[in-house]
């Protein structure tokens, strides 16, 4: 029998995921309005289908089981990394099927198109808004070491954030 607290955790996890997707959609709309990128239609389509694979049962179950721990953790903290290691297979699958993650590409960030990067920054902004003590500028800084982008790329990402947040 499924326990009530597990059902509640799944419900809250789905609410958080839906909230994340709405925020990504919102920031992509702001990108479309203020930055006027090429391939507007494709970026809009990505906004609609962003993270849709996280609604598959194995992902829902995994995030539900870890919902409360994730909610309490800070991005890149030792506690956060411990939780991430528990859900690594689901995250790895997600990264391998979604081009807005540098891990999708063999050469990480360098393999990303401008469209991929725009969806990525909308994703990062949304995630930082929902994370305990989230800060998009700290995320950009920390992710520079993780994804090895140069200072010019970091400046571009920060500029996008300043323009749309």
- Comparing CA positions, the residue from 105, 99, 141, 104 lying closest to residue 123 is 99
The per-residue pLDDT for range 9-48, each reduced to its tens digit, is: 999 999 999 999 999 999 999 999 999 999 999 999 999 9
User: From CA 101, how far away is CA 86, in angstroms rounded?
Assistant: 19
Straight-line distance from the first to the last Cα atom of the chain, in angstroms, rounded to the nearest whole number: 44
- Tell me the mean pLDDT in the region 131-150: 95
Query: How many domains does the chain divide into?
Result: 1
Dist. CA 117–CA 111, nearest whole Å = 10
Residue pLDDT, tens place only, 69-117: 998 998 889 999 999 999 999 999 999 999 999 999 999 999 999 999 9
Asked if residue 143 has pLDDT above 80, the reply is: yes
Domain that holds residue 101: 4-164
- Judged by DSSP in three states, 61 sits in helix
- Cα dihedral angle (89, 131, 53, 113), rounded to 10 degrees? -100
pLDDT band at residue 1 using 50, 70 and 90 as cut-offs: low
């Amino acid at each position: 029998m499924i326990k009530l607290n597990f059902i509640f955790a799944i419900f809250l996890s789905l609410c958080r995921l839906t909230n994340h997707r709405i925020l990504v959609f919102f920031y992509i709309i702001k990108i479309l309005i203020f930055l006027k990128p090429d391939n507007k239609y494709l970026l809009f389509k990505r906004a609609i289908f962003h993270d849709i694979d996280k609604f598959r049962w194995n992902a829902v179950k995994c995030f539900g089981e870890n919902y409360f721990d994730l909610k309490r953790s800070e991005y890149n903290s030792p506690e956060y990394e411990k939780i991430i290691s528990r859900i690594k297979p689901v995250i790895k699958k997600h990264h391998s099927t979604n081009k807005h993650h540098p891990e999708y590409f063999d050469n990480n960030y360098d393999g990303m198109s401008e469209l991929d990067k725009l969806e990525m920054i909308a994703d990062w902004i949304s995630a930082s808004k929902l994370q305990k003590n989230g800060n998009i500028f700290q995320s950009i800084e920390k992710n520079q070491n993780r994804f090895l982008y140069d200072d010019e790329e970091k400046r571009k990402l920060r500029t996008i954030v300043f323009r749309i947040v």
